[in-house]
Structure 1
């Protein structure tokens, strides 16, 4: 799925080492955020949660149809650290019991939050916290926000990892296009599989015979991306990301409205 070497994650790294974030997150929390970002799609099978549930896949049966992929990613990550044949994989071995338990709870929480079926629930909580904040938006409100307590800090961390997870629309356009096409091909394969097995088609827009990728991108940005990154910008000010998002959106919109013959043939 999404690669980690993108503009959003570079921005995340800059934020995490900045004074702005050092004042509110300790080293264990920063480590947990980075680990969550690394493992959040570990061993992804190339199918969505609804497909796994509809097809009665073993993972869906194992996790009772609840955040199936996200549970698998984070469970496997921790199981790999307990591999007795590879002691160097245990990145937590030097932690005391209390710190390990706290970090484990935090990582699990952040990875599970990447389940897109819960997207608006997490965004609503984040916006509610922002509304309670008395500091001026984008002018240091990060520090006062975390004074609300541990739950507020965890909401912040969820949103940070979520921004990294679905940040492709904010990449430079040549990278954004490359990954949009790769993801579309993955969804095409799922749709093919659903049709061949007479399963519900989860994403009808991603039919390889009819799909217009620019349409799928503008819909995704309108539905999920704009609100999330406007909220994040209100929190810590990332105008360059919003500028890139706006530029990419206009390109996708133009292509959706006037597809070229080559695009029609390709998609």
Structure 2
């Protein structure tokens, strides 16, 4: 058995037939059907369609990843108390966006899709990655077909999914840091640009939360993501190109890359969230608990240190690559 609301959750250990029931239980925990005034069965159908739209042959971007992201997001909202501060619409948007954020994922990066002239590139919105643009459009369609017609809900889900585009990482963090210096926390809990920023940051946090899991779970996720990365690298090499260093099984060192990813990408997201949640508590917003983010940051620091130590040990032993 496992605790559904825990940062130690391991989605990879959940049997395929249990993924949908667990996702439904998370949506019920967030009272999404009640907030949207639809039947639970409608939300269940939406989650089922999102899950079944994940290609089974993707090593990383598959059904387990969707469950993992939704579970981490729900836990983060609960542990920080943000579920009580955010509006019912925002909570609904986050759950729906988490479930759909990688619908129809190709198991490759936007760069490769662009090089291949993939149909997702031709359809993508300007300034948004092809994969994120496609998944967001599919989410809008699924919401209308299976849940309800609500242009505001669809727009917010679309924009929240767009925020998972790695190319927008720096802009979102910069804008969020500036906003929390200039605006009152309450403005982030409304249908405003600042509210969108908060939802984007929360989904981004959940999307890259693997390294914050217990070390063995984080390593298991590493195996999945690098299998996918290396498959793309092999494809680029076979076409005569030069792969992204992280995708090159000939030279990449997984522990070293993992420590770098935590320290230079993931931590920044959670530091921004910690700063915001701390500000909310200082402003007297009820139920807010910064320690919910501190726990994640402690896990990240612990795992980064373990990965760095492993990389140093490999270097001392003359091992340069670990595929």
Structure 1 regions of 5+ residues with no counterpart? 84-89, 135-141
* Pair 1:26-2:87 in alignment: yes
Shift of 1:51: 0.7
Quick check: 58-67 or 203-212, which moved more?
Answer: 58-67
Over residues 44-73 of structure 1, what are the superposed CA-to-partner deviations in whole Å (9 max), with x where a residue is unaligned?
110000110012122222327841000111
- Tell me the TM-score normalized by structure 2: 0.68
Shift of 1:206: 2.3
Structure 2 regions of 5+ residues with no counterpart? 1-60, 278-289
Distance, in Å, in 2 between the alignment partners of 1:27 and 1:179 is: 32
Distance, in Å, in 1 between the alignment partners of 2:321 and 2:129 is: 36
* Pair 1:35-2:96 in alignment: yes
Higher relative contact order (CA 8 A, sep 6+): 1
- SS of the residue corresponding to residue 248 of structure 2 reads coil
- For residue 205 of structure 1, what is the aligned residue in structure 2? 246
Q: How many residues align?
A: 243
- For residue 111 of structure 1, what is the aligned residue in structure 2? 161
- Tell me the TM-score normalized by structure 1: 0.81
Quick check: 74-83 or 40-49, which moved more?
Answer: 74-83
* Pair 1:254-2:309 in alignment: yes
What is the root-mean-square deviation of aligned Cα atoms in Å? 2.6
Correspondent of 1:69 among 131, 144, 149: 131
Shift of 1:217: 0.8
- SS of the residue corresponding to residue 4 of structure 1 reads helix
In the superposition, relative to structure 1, how do residues 200 and 54 fare at CA in structure 2: closer, same or farther (>3 Å)?
farther
In the superposition, relative to structure 1, how do residues 61 and 46 fare at CA in structure 2: closer, same or farther (>3 Å)?
same
Distance, in Å, in 2 between the alignment partners of 1:52 and 1:160 is: 26
Distance, in Å, in 2 between the alignment partners of 1:206 and 1:161 is: 24
- For residue 87 of structure 1, what is the aligned residue in structure 2? none
5 Å-filtered alignment, 1:13-162, equals 13-14=77-78, 18=81, 20-23=82-85, 25-63=86-124, 66-81=128-143, 90-92=146-148, 100-133=150-183, 142=185, 144-146=186-188, 150-162=192-204
Shift of 1:176: 0.8
Shift of 1:150: 1.1
Shift of 1:186: 0.2
